[in-house]
Amino acid sequence: TPAPLSRALRAAPQSPALGNARGDPGRSRARDPATAGNDAGAPRAPATGGEGEPHSRHQDARLGSTDKELKSGATAADSVRTASGTPRQPGPRAEVMDAAGGSRNPLPRPCHVLVLLNPRGGKGKALQLFWSHVQPLLAQADVSFTLMLTERRNHARELVRAEDLRRWDALVVMSGDGLIHEVVNGLMERPDWETAIQKPLCSLPAGSGNAVAASLNHYAGYEQVTNEDLLTNCTQLLCRRLLAPMNLLSLQTACGQRLFSVLSLAWGFIADVDLESEKFRRLGEMRFALGTCLRLAALRTYRGSLAYLPAETLASRGAPSPARAPQGPADTHVVPLEQPVPPHWTVVPEQDFVLVLALLHSHLASELFTAPMGRCSAGAMHLFYVRAGVSRATLLRLFLAMEKGRHMEYHCPHLVYVPVVAFRLEPKDGKGVFAVDGELLISGAVQGQVLPNYFWMVSGCRESPPSLKPQPSPRRKSQQRPPPAERR
């Protein structure tokens, strides 16, 4: 995931280092309308709108709270654990999302959560930030917790795969987007995955990209903030206890691997920046700015073929394709990778790309407002791709404008955007790598589809995105079509 380029490339001061001082809550802002532009004939994105409500602490969060003493320093073989007594059994609540993907009851008061924290995430100050910024707010809101520190890659995945989830009202993930990826995939690997994935999740940003947290902050109506301010906002969301359903991206690879994404799949430029900047992790978000500059200086193209099922097509047809899933939920809109895509899909001819990005949320990093066209419908995702031929200067302008979500206003002829339900991407010549939620995926053909409203996250409101339901599709005078070479 590239990063806040404007500060790095305009030689502005870097964001303050994460520290002990409590950040001020984010203030509300009026969101600027973003007029979408893209390749000839590709759908235009609707403008955003609406004002966020002021960010403020709820007085009821302070009532009846008890600042509990927490045991510390107990290091176990499986984790570093800090507990506030024996976890209580959560109160009775509906554990299954309703068929329409509607809202569910909020977290109870009081509630007990499991906090999975990566002490090496971002600049390595997550634990310090937890005690200085998160714990005091949780104490005021009567949220008790057990803290587990992850010790290695996929540790959180192993923990949630074996954990008795009945002990917790929610799982709180404090790190970057990679740790949420681990937790969700660990839940989906359990024998009881159908109920395990219903356990509410919360994202507290303490990593490098923090895109999921930034998106939830945006959906709550808060202004775009970073670092301690973003952490404070997301902690306040946990204290408010409201839940909202989120889409999940189901992925299948040519080698038979099945995995799930909570944020994005990237190929090409963005994936290279994400993975190649790992060696600069101690810089925090600035690692992406440095990685972007280095990759722009040696801009690559990647040959491949792309096909997708547009959201509009699904709404008008409503006929799913044959499905095959190695395990877990069925993928109803894709066929096996060795077969051609269904005839009602849109096929982009094999060509050279700079990047391809499938994105579930509004942000790709805390200061990359990548999808200003609004939250996708339940069952849909944002698909962006940039064709070869774009200049370095134009690509730089797009990423700089992305900080405020104004990159679509350039109407760049090489940038294409379309909301889709499913996609298939086949790299040629073995070039390019995939990054799924910032994690490396072995290169090769991959396809994915959205599982609508599939899991719950702590959010600023209880509203779910509109469902993508089959319906008559009358001809619209202003309807745009893909370029002739990409029509179904």
Among 87-91, 216-220, 458-462, which stretch is predicted with the lowest mean pLDDT?
87-91
Whether the predicted model's global pTM rises above the 0.85 cut:
no
Question: 121-148 pLDDT, tens per residue?
Answer: 878 899 999 999 999 999 999 999 999 9
**What's 107-241's CATH class?**
alpha beta
Q: Residue 374: what pLDDT? A: 87
CATH code for residues 248-318+327-462 = 2.60.200.40
User: Which tens digits make up the pLDDT trace of 162-181?
Assistant: 999 999 999 999 999 999 99
Q: What pLDDT is attached to residue 305?
A: 95
Whose tokens are 């587990």? That residue is 148
> Which residues pair with residue 347 across a beta bridge?
307
User: Taking residues 61-87, what's their average pLDDT?
Assistant: 32
For 18-32, 91-105, 331-345, which range has the lowest pLDDT when averaged over its residues? 18-32
Residue 297 burial by CB count (10 A; 0-12/13-18/19+): exposed, middle or buried? Answer: exposed
Q: Kindly report, residue by residue over 215-274, the tens digit of the pLDDT.
A: 999 999 999 999 999 999 999 999 999 999 999 999 999 888 899 999 999 998 888 877
State the chain's mean pLDDT as an integer: 75
Contacts of 153 (CB under 8 A, 6+ apart): none
Tell me: pLDDT of 63 over 50: no
Read off the pLDDT band of 483 (50, 70, 90). very low
CB 375 within 8 A of CB 347: no
Of 6-10, 295-299, 323-327, the range with the lowest mean pLDDT is 6-10
pLDDT in tens, 189-203: 999 999 999 999 999
Confidence of residue 16 (pLDDT cuts 50, 70, 90): very low
Of the candidates 398, 363, 364, 360, the residue with the CA atom closest to the CA atom of residue 377: 360
Q: Is the pLDDT of residue 2 over 50?
A: no
pLDDT (average), residues 16-24: 32
State the Cα–Cα distance between residues 179 and 164, nearest whole angstrom. 19
- Of 137-146, 207-216, 308-317, 396-405, the range with the highest mean pLDDT is 137-146
Q: What positions carry a catalytic annotation? A: 177
Given this model, what pLDDT does residue 463 score?
Answer: 57
- Angle, vertex CA 488, rays to CA 414 and CA 317, nearest 5: 120
Q: Residue 144 has what pLDDT?
A: 97
Q: Where are the domains of the chain?
A: 107-241, 248-318+327-462
Look at residue 480 and tell me whether its pLDDT is greater than 70. no
Return the residue matching tokens 């709550």.
220
Q: What is the pLDDT of residue 193?
A: 96
User: Per DSSP, what are the bridge partners of residue 249?
Assistant: 261, 450
Greater model confidence, 69 or 459: 459
pLDDT value at residue 299: 86
Q: What pLDDT score does 25 carry? A: 34
Name which residue leads in pLDDT, 400 or 482. 400
**% residues pLDDT > 70 (the chain):** 67
Mode of pairing for the β-strands spanning 111-117 and 143-149: parallel
* Residue 72 confidence class, pLDDT cut points 50, 70, 90: very low
**Pair type for strands 201-205 and 170-175:** parallel
